[in-house]
Structure 1
Amino acid sequence: MKLKLAVILSLSTGLVACGGGGGSSDNTKPATQTKVIEGVAIDGYIKGATVFSDLNYNGKFDAGEPSSITDEEGNYRLALSGSNSDCIDYAPIVVNVPVGAIDADDPENPIQQAYQLVYPPAITVSSDEEIKFTTPLTTILWNEIQEDIHKTGLNSCKALKEAVNTQNKILQNVKDHENRIANRYNITVESLYGDFIKDENKDLYNLAQKMMPALKKSYEETKIIQQKNPDAQLAYVDYYWDFWDYRTNQPVDKWYRTEAIIKANKVVTIDHQVTDDLSNIIKLIRHVESNNSQHNGIGYTKEAWLSFDESLAEYTCSINETIEQLPEQSALTSYGVRNSSTSREGDWDNCSNNSVDSNFYQQLTTTTVDGMKEQRTLTQTSFNYNQRVQFGDLVNLSDKINSYSRSDLNILNFLSSSFDANTANGADDWWRAKYEYIQHSANDFTQIITEKYSSGVWAKTQYFSNGTNKRECSSDGQSWSVAACKN
């Protein structure tokens, strides 16, 4: 099968009047805003594929989600109206290609194995082109970033729109993923969103061909893992090919399988290296399990992380725990403690049963939000104590966390949450960040994150509503330039 799958989107906006019969103005209801997405699904041209706007981020076509069935030439039309009209930029677009769909390149042989392609929420990606191409590359990107989105509790376009404080993290994570995928496959970030068929880019076409068996296998195994975990907010399997080794800065040729299960209070991610035909496991690469809870005005998270160290040919186990105050209307600055330790372990069972060991380092943190309704982050600080642990009693709390309450962490209120402060509080090093959100119009905004480090380095990143960003650096917080970030 010649893979040429792309989804070409054009957006038009208008007002649709819902009125009575006979053109009588007496019965006309208020106009409702409607946005229309028109596009083409191409694998040849696909007839019989379902295209929908995934408003609740579950990867499934649910009642009420705008949808269209592609015609003989792969055309479709989605109309989003009312409260859903703003979801065009905030919800992923999914193309379900079912068994029996017709590829115009090979109409005598209907598609034998179903698969799914996705274009991430437009607000998150770097591309500001009105035409969106849904390809294996955009699907790979979505497979990577959706875990970040679900981890932060965003499971709808409405949640992504409202969680402005979380968008800062998501937007930066997407940029990181874009660069990682581009580096992995030795392509440009811009080409992730391009039409490699129209551009006659043989390298990207061949890459798409190479990825299709993995995408199809991922799709089939995702359905199985979702059936086994009906209570999960997100469960998926992702097979991917690794082209580049960042540590050795050398090309590689390896396949991996990622399995992720995200529940209300637990996140599990398991990565294995697999054989080139994707059928057999070679070795465990990483196993991460995070358990979290909230009570008595505090949040607690314990994470175990077992990863294979190629240079030592053995596994490293990291145990991280965080206890932090939850914001209150009368106390919008909250304090927290993070403890981390590392050891050598041979398997997951030994690692997961570990506690933070005696050779650990500690971070003390503050977070200030602007109100209980928005809870938009205003400032954050982190003080790192590598040698001199400040609160040795606030460690290994999983078995006694229920005995703690929010007030117990008020002992940290000596920490300054001000971005303008430069106090170290006895820390080996520190980091401070300031978050700003500027609303230009209903759908036009700029988010700015300004960071400074005890080393004297400053960084400022601006995220724009069209999905683009700009990062500048400084040595004094006054003179900024893009070039300074490369020094």
Structure 2
Amino acid sequence: MQAGKVIDGYVNGATVWLDINGNHLKDADEPSTLSKAAGAYQLELSESQRDCLPYATLYVDVPVGAVDEDSGVVKEAYQMAIAPRFQPIKIDQVLNISPLTTAIWDQVRTRITANDPKLSSCDQLRQNQSLREAMIYELKTVMGDLVRRHNLSEARIHDDFIKSKDTQSYTVAQDIVKGLKAGYAYKQKLHAQYPDASYIRAEVYRGRGSNSYSDVAGVWYRNSSVWRPTGYQNESVVLSEDLSKTLRVLNLRSQAEQAWGSAKLKITRTGYNFETNVSSFRCVIDEAIEQVKDGVTYVLVVDYTDPKREDDPLACLQESRALPSEIGQRHYYAYYRVGQVSFTNNLRFDPQHPEHIALKDWFKLQAKSSQLDFNSVISRIAGSGIRFDEEVKITPFSSWYKRSTDDTGLRVTVEKWDTGSWTRTSTLTDGTSRTECSADRGKTWGSCGG
């Protein structure tokens, strides 16, 4: 038997079930039970089903008519979940399922299934070590993201925050479940609109105040993505307080990918407007050639300056919109990994810079795979000082940025910029994080100030 609670407020009358075959659907041969008073559930498991418990997702279907002991009868169905734990689960271990655990699993599913929408069954996960490791890594990553966004430790996320009278977790949970319901409804709408989609995600959340354009405190946002055979499309919008209306579009982006010799060509079109006093949208187009060589992913991006603004961001995404003749920046990316440490390097050049001029033939690339040799660009990127501890070897430049993410133990991320700014974000034992700054190239660290 596996016990726990269904928590939004406490939910009575929800179906708790174990997704043994990994298809995200409740099948007749999968164990299930109804939650009772105070959200309590007891799920009877056979020996083989208990063996699958660490490798399978526990889902909760909350139907119309279930009772939330805080807000009353449920009028809009939604689903919650808790991710596989990938470690032994004691018989008396409590597994609480809440909007907070659901937010974690939703993000892991989004990342793991971006390229392959089919997650494996219990048996496949037990046999596939690489997939298990990838999911464990993503769970760790997502947990860190959730902790940073909502300032809640991992222990508090899995706790019964009603019983512990944790008002912060409770308040955050109410926002999350409100967003989950709206996100689920919008996801269903997208499925109907794009029946050929291989994967669809939709996230609705209230900003917590990092002061970025998509995280202003108290503002509701919706981010959605649709992956189709021809590429993907992303949208970021501001919603009304009741989530029924789109107040304004912030960003609309589509990307089409195709083979380009032994490399990939990605064409990305974006319409964006982060200005509250301007109604029209800036249109941005870029081409990217990407190839993996000797364990490093090398990318050349060519930006095009489009002077024409549009009242409708969809106009920016039309394939009939030719690439503008005026080229903006060209920039290099390099991604690589050493053990449990991943690295990112970005180096940008303006049109007047010699490195930008040296790449003068690299534009309008779609039909040029037989004319241009990407190995020559790879050599330039490789020689630019891509390693985290290397000095940048190509000057002048517009800007550069480097990041290391060390997951050997608790995650430590170090970022540095050409401006001389260095930041280090260290994950603490309770899952929260501390950010420090350095003015002497990482020799000493202290407060980042105001």
TM-score, normalised by the number of residues in structure 2: 0.71
Q: What is the CA–CA distance in structure 2 between the aligned matches of 1:464 and 1:197, rounded to whole Å?
A: 25
Within 5 Å, give how 1:311-390 maps onto structure 2.
311-314=276-279, 315-327=281-293, 331-341=294-304, 343=306, 344-352=309-317, 353=321, 355=323, 358-369=326-337, 379-386=343-350, 387-388=352-353, 389=356, 390=358
Letter of the 2:345 partner, please give it: T
Note if 1:302 corresponds to 2:271. Answer: no
Within 5 Å, give how 1:45-60 maps onto structure 2.
45-52=11-18, 56=22, 60=24
Note if 1:268 corresponds to 2:233. Answer: yes
After superposition, give the CA deviation of every residue in 1:364-423 in whole Å (9 maximum; x if it has no partner). Answer: 2334456xxx9x776543222135224132233235457656535345243344433213
Q: How many residues align?
A: 419
Q: What is the CA–CA distance in structure 2 between the aligned matches of 1:350 and 1:404, rounded to whole Å?
A: 31
Partner residue, 1:135? 98
For residues 247 and 436 of structure 1, do their structure 2 counterparts lie closer, same or farther at Cα, with a shift above 3 Å needed?
A: closer
Secondary structure of the corresponding residue to residue 375 of structure 2: helix
Partner residue, 1:115? 78
Letter of the 2:180 partner, please give it: L
User: 1:44 offset after TM fit, Å?
Assistant: 3.7
Secondary structure of the corresponding residue to residue 188 of structure 2: helix
After superposition, give the CA deviation of every residue in 1:443-486 in whole Å (9 maximum; x if it has no partner). Answer: xx5665555444444455566999666665545566454x3555
Partner residue, 1:25? none
User: 1:97 offset after TM fit, Å?
Assistant: 1.6
For residues 44 and 266 of structure 1, do their structure 2 counterparts lie closer, same or farther at Cα, with a shift above 3 Å needed?
A: same
Q: What is the CA–CA distance in structure 2 between the aligned matches of 1:84 and 1:463, rounded to whole Å?
A: 32
Letter of the 1:72 partner, please give it: K
Q: What is the CA–CA distance in structure 2 between the aligned matches of 1:250 and 1:333, rounded to whole Å?
A: 32
Letter of the 2:17 partner, please give it: V
| RMSD over equivalenced CA pairs, Å | 4.7
User: 1:116 offset after TM fit, Å?
Assistant: 0.9
For residues 433 and 237 of structure 1, do their structure 2 counterparts lie closer, same or farther at Cα, with a shift above 3 Å needed?
A: closer
Letter of the 1:41 partner, please give it: V
Conserved 8 A contact 1:150-1:233: no
Q: What is the CA–CA distance in structure 2 between the aligned matches of 1:356 and 1:62, rounded to whole Å?
A: 50
Within 5 Å, give how 1:387-426 maps onto structure 2.
387-388=352-353, 389=356, 390-401=358-369, 406-407=374-375, 409-412=377-380, 413-426=382-395
Q: What is the CA–CA distance in structure 2 between the aligned matches of 1:450 and 1:248, rounded to whole Å?
A: 23
Note if 1:199 corresponds to 2:167. Answer: no
Letter of the 1:346 partner, please give it: D
User: 1:39 offset after TM fit, Å?
Assistant: 1.6
After superposition, give the CA deviation of every residue in 1:314-362 in whole Å (9 maximum; x if it has no partner). Answer: 32333233212223xxx33453212234553332243123536625112
Conserved 8 A contact 1:53-1:94: yes
Q: What is the CA–CA distance in structure 1 between the aligned matches of 2:429 and 2:230, rounded to whole Å?
A: 31
Letter of the 2:366 partner, please give it: S
Letter of the 2:42 partner, please give it: Y
Conserved 8 A contact 2:110-2:201: no
Conserved 8 A contact 2:266-2:287: yes
Letter of the 2:231 partner, please give it: K
Q: What is the CA–CA distance in structure 2 between the aligned matches of 1:457 and 1:277, rounded to whole Å?
A: 40
TM-score, normalised by the number of residues in structure 1: 0.66
Conserved 8 A contact 1:37-1:77: yes
For residues 71 and 283 of structure 1, do their structure 2 counterparts lie closer, same or farther at Cα, with a shift above 3 Å needed?
A: closer
Letter of the 1:273 partner, please give it: V
Partner residue, 1:18? none
Q: What is the CA–CA distance in structure 2 between the aligned matches of 1:116 and 1:51, rounded to whole Å?
A: 11
Conserved 8 A contact 1:297-1:406: no
Letter of the 1:385 partner, please give it: F
Q: What is the CA–CA distance in structure 2 between the aligned matches of 1:349 and 1:55, rounded to whole Å?
A: 39
Partner residue, 1:442? none
Q: What is the CA–CA distance in structure 2 between the aligned matches of 1:377 and 1:198, rounded to whole Å?
A: 39
The one of 290, 293, 301 equivalent to 2:258 is 293
Q: What is the CA–CA distance in structure 2 between the aligned matches of 1:468 and 1:214, rounded to whole Å?
A: 23
Note if 1:429 corresponds to 2:394. Answer: no
Conserved 8 A contact 1:367-1:377: no
Conserved 8 A contact 1:297-1:326: no
Q: What is the CA–CA distance in structure 2 between the aligned matches of 1:368 and 1:253, rounded to whole Å?
A: 37
Secondary structure of the corresponding residue to residue 360 of structure 1: strand
Note if 1:76 corresponds to 2:63. Answer: no
User: 1:249 offset after TM fit, Å?
Assistant: 12
Q: What is the CA–CA distance in structure 2 between the aligned matches of 1:340 and 1:204, rounded to whole Å?
A: 43
Partner residue, 1:127? none
Q: What is the CA–CA distance in structure 2 between the aligned matches of 1:408 and 1:172, rounded to whole Å?
A: 35
Any stretches of 5+ residues in structure 1 without a counterpart?
Answer: 1-35, 124-129, 183-187, 439-444
Within 5 Å, give how 1:68-217 maps onto structure 2.
68-73=32-37, 74-77=40-43, 88=54, 93-99=58-64, 101=66, 111-119=74-82, 133-140=96-103, 147-151=110-114, 156=119, 161-163=132-134, 167=137, 175-176=144-145, 178-180=147-149, 182=150, 188-190=151-153, 194-201=159-166, 205=170, 208-209=173-174, 212=177, 214-217=179-182
Any stretches of 5+ residues in structure 2 without a counterpart?
Answer: 87-92
